Amino acid sequence: MDNAIYSGRDVVEFSIWDVLRNLLLAARWTVALSLITFAAGGLVAIILVLIRNRTDRWGKHVVVLYVQLFQGTPLLMQLFLAYFGLSALGFQISAWGAASLALTLYCSAFLSEIWHGCIQAVSKGQWEASACLALNWAEQMRYIILPQAIKLAIPPTVGFMVQAVKATALASVIGFIELTKAGTMIANATFKPFMVFSIIGVLYFCLCYPISRYARSLERKMNVR
Amino acid sequence: MKLISIKKIALSLVCFLVFSVLSVQAENALDNIEKNKVIRIGIPTDYPPYGFVGTDLQPQGLDVEMAQYIADKMKVRVELIPVISANRIPYLQTKKADLIISTLGKTPEREKVLDFSIAYAPFFQGVFAPKTTTIKSFSDLVGKSVAVTRGAMEDQELSKLTPPGVNMKRFEDNNATIAAFVSGQTDAVGMGGAVAVNIIKQNPKLGAEYKLLIKNSPCFIGIAKGEEELRLKVNAIINEAKKSGEIDKLSKKWLARSAGELPD
């Protein structure tokens, strides 16, 4: 087989600026998807924690099952099922919708488990003492339990948020073009994967590092009080 | 909160699901395309010169132009969907795409789950390795590592051709396969000829060359199983394009060779 005839067209020339510009544009979607995930995932997690604390046996079982289901299966598979699985069942869902849905469910499972654990970690004596003061459940939560639980919850919550930012990269499997997917596309057009992936790495770091920094300052503030 | 019966919620959810599934109606893909005036076509974005991005991140390449050509002939708008080897068939099966134009080769396994048009472009897969590595036959690969893209034709074919003892390293997309070979993680790579030649040109230090032919497998357009009207329509467009020289023109533009004899 003669290779010369397969030489084809010359590849497109990307300048460093072209690469950086395109990656920054794609990073917008990573940020947007992360924000949706945090907001919706956090909200669902609060509801799950409430159900787990306030309902009968059934509610608890359902929440535990939910958490185990989403913690125990790969996110990649969840994304795949949310996009293609729902479609096969007849629900038409966009890549945006499927990515948000899967990441929200995934995030809420982890966050609810973290937060539930933090509430559990507040010693039983605190509940009993506040009950002696004739506080009802909501008052106990508001004035006694949550202020202590939140302090405990910050490090694991932030740790998970940083994980979640990076987890959005998996959404590329359903055709969602975010930072990583744009990077692979550019890497294949330029044939310079090392340059492109190094930039991607730096961009992810720029997204995640401020979150960790903010968490540390938040921890300090709370401990002083 | 305690009053909410989880049982009732679960029951109504199940009812809703069952109802929604039953209410889905089988619609003809061609009618849908003509009704909505849009055809959704899956194309590669990581496989030059068939599908890759320009500096504006817009896809271009042989497959992309073919998609545009078919849409023009059907007088509808084209919606391009970037697909990878691992997800292009699910896109078709779940009707998220009407057509897949993504250097899709025809295999008996694939014919069980989707239908094919007639071929529209030439394609071959080969094994490539540095000049210093001696590979004259598939048995020379024993004890060597070969990078391939999981689920791609070269993965399946190479597994059949090589004797046991070849270390097949499978990667999730072409990008990872290329990166592994270029960085020296594997001794050889099995991939499409046109892409490999570009990589070799871009990385002269590698000193890689063409070693073995895995398969000559022209590209076909994938269509969801049973969409006979759409398949006939696409075939008619390709046949017409072959006669008018459009297929040859595309091949010359992107692959620098004529399309040659393409099988039906």
User: Nearest chain B Cα to A61, which residue?
Assistant: B6
Inside any domain, residue B20? no
| B133 shares a domain with B71 | no
Let me know if residue B262 belongs to a domain. no
B225 and B201 co-located in one domain: no
Considering the segment(s) A14-224 as one domain, its CATH architecture is: Orthogonal Bundle (1.10)
Contact B144, B166 (CB under 8 A): yes
- The two beta strands, B59-60 and B167-171, are unpaired
- Within 8 A of A54 by CB-CB distance, chain B residues are 1-2
**If 0-12 CB within 10 Å is exposed, 13-18 middle and 19+ buried, where does residue A135 land?**
middle
| Residue B227 belongs to a domain | yes
CATH for B250: 3.40.190.10
Sheet holding B51-53, edge to edge: B46-47, B51-53, B59-60
The pair of three-digit structure tokens given for residue A2, joined into one six-digit string: 């003669």
Token reading at A200:
């991607």
B47/B91 same-domain check: yes
Contact B191, B148 (CB under 8 A): yes
Distance of CA A100 to the CA centre of its chain: 10
A27 and A207 Cβ atoms separated by less than 8 Å: yes
pLDDT tens string, chain B, 264 residues long: the values are 444 555 555 556 565 555 555 445 457 889 999 999 999 999 999 888 899 998 888 999 999 999 999 999 999 999 999 998 888 999 999 889 999 999 998 988 899 999 999 999 998 889 999 999 999 999 999 999 999 999 888 898 998 898 889 999 999 888 889 989 999 999 999 998 888 888 888 888 888 988 998 988 899 999 999 999 999 999 999 999 999 999 999 988 888 778 888 887
Interacting residues of A43 by C-beta distance below 8 A, sequence separation 6+: A108
Q: Please say whether the beta carbons of A65 and A57 come within 8 A.
A: no
Domain count within chain B: 2
Residues B32 and B118 in one domain: yes
Minimum-distance CB partner of B178 among A5, A9, A193 = A193
Residue B39 shares a structural domain with residue B89: yes
Instruction: Copy the structure tokens of residue A101.
Output: 């849905």
Instruction: Say whether both B176 and B95 belong to one domain.
Output: no
Q: Would you say residue B2 lies in a domain?
A: no
A50 to chain B: nearest residue by CA? Answer: B1
**Residue B161 domain-assigned?**
yes
DSSP β-ladder status, B77-83 and B38-44:
parallel
Which residues in chain B have their CB less than 8 angstroms from residue A49's CB?
none
3-class DSSP assignment, residue A7: coil
Residues B131 and B51 both lie in one domain:
no
B48 CA: distance to closest CA in chain A (Å): 7
Same domain assignment for residues B41 and B115: yes
Cβ within 8 Å, pair B257-A5: yes
* Residues of chain A positioned with their CB less than 8 A from the CB of B23: 90
Contacts of residue B256, Cβ cutoff 8 Å, sequence gap at least 6: A5, A6, A7, A8, A9
Cα A225 from Cα A68, distance rounded (Å): 36
**Same domain (yes/no): B89, B137:** no
What is the identity of the amino acid at A222? M
Q: How many CB atoms within 10 Å of residue A86?
A: 18
Q: Between chains, do B6 and A59 touch, taking CB under 8 Å as contact?
A: yes
All structural domains of chain A with their residue ranges: 14-224
Burial label, B144 (beta-carbon count in 10 A; 0-12, 13-18, 19+): middle
> Do residues B205 and B225 both lie within one domain?
no
Examine the domain organization and report whether B128 and B238 are in the same domain. Answer: no
Q: For A50-79, write each residue's pLDDT tens digit.
A: 999 888 888 899 999 999 999 999 999 999
Beta bridge partners of B119: B220
Angstrom distance (rounded) from CA B175 to CA B167: 19
Binary contact (B81, A56; C-beta < 8 A)? no
What domain range includes position B98? 26-123+219-255
Claim to verify: residue B111 and residue B136 sit in the same structural domain = no
